Each structure stands twice: as C-alpha cells, then as structure tokens.
Amino acid sequence: MQAVKQTNEWVVNNTNLGIIILLIPIAASGAISNNLTELQDNIGLLMENTNSLDAVALYKAIGIAGAGGMGSHDEFDVMSVEAQKDLVVKDQSMYDVLNKKNLFETLVVLTVSFQF
C-alpha cells in the first residue's frame, strides 16, 4: 500500500500498480533465495502463506491507485468496501483473491520465464 501512496505523490494515475503487485513478491522472495529455482519456489510459498489482511491491503492499494477496468464481481468486488470485510470473515488470502482474478497465474508465468 505504501508503494502506491508514494506513486500517487508523483503521478495522478495507477501506472505503477501492476508493476508493484508483480514486483513485491519477487523482491521479497529474492531476499530469501540463493538462486532462480529458489526464487520461483519462494514466490509460490510467500503467496500461498498470505492471509486475509494481506488481501485487504491489496484491495486498499487498488482503491488508492484508483484502478479502473477491473469489472464488477458478485463476490469480493475490488471496488466494494463490504468486500474487504468479507475477505476477513471468509478468510480469503491475497493468494486466494489473485487466483480468483487469474492474476496469480500471470505472476507465476512472468516469473518462470524471467532469466538472469
């Protein structure tokens, strides 16, 4: 969320939101990995071990960035304040949310194809 807030101080749109969502797990994994294989494995482990508060932070970051074009969904709509409460009540992690939105798959594909 802090990265999105900092971006908003420089630009008035969400140009970096996708980059932030992509790079934070990669950077965190890089801090605990010794090679590319460990990096890829650790990204999965880190994401699988997120919790509902991480998901709420993601939703808040998306809201701060003013991201549009995400569509409306019956369950866990990114633009709904009620959805943030539901994430906690239904114990939905950031991993769960990104899987539902098919974003985790994209993160994995981009990371697996990344070469040093």
Tell whether pTM > 0.95.
Answer: no
- The predicted pLDDT at position 52 comes to 94
Element housing 102 (H / E): none
Domain boundaries, position 60: 2-113
Among candidates 44, 4, 39, 6, which has minimal Cα distance to 20?
4
- Res. 24: pLDDT tops 60: yes
Number of domains forming the structure of the chain: 1
Give residue-wise pLDDT tens across range 38-63.
998 999 899 999 999 998 998 888 88
Burial label, 101 (beta-carbon count in 10 A; 0-12, 13-18, 19+): middle
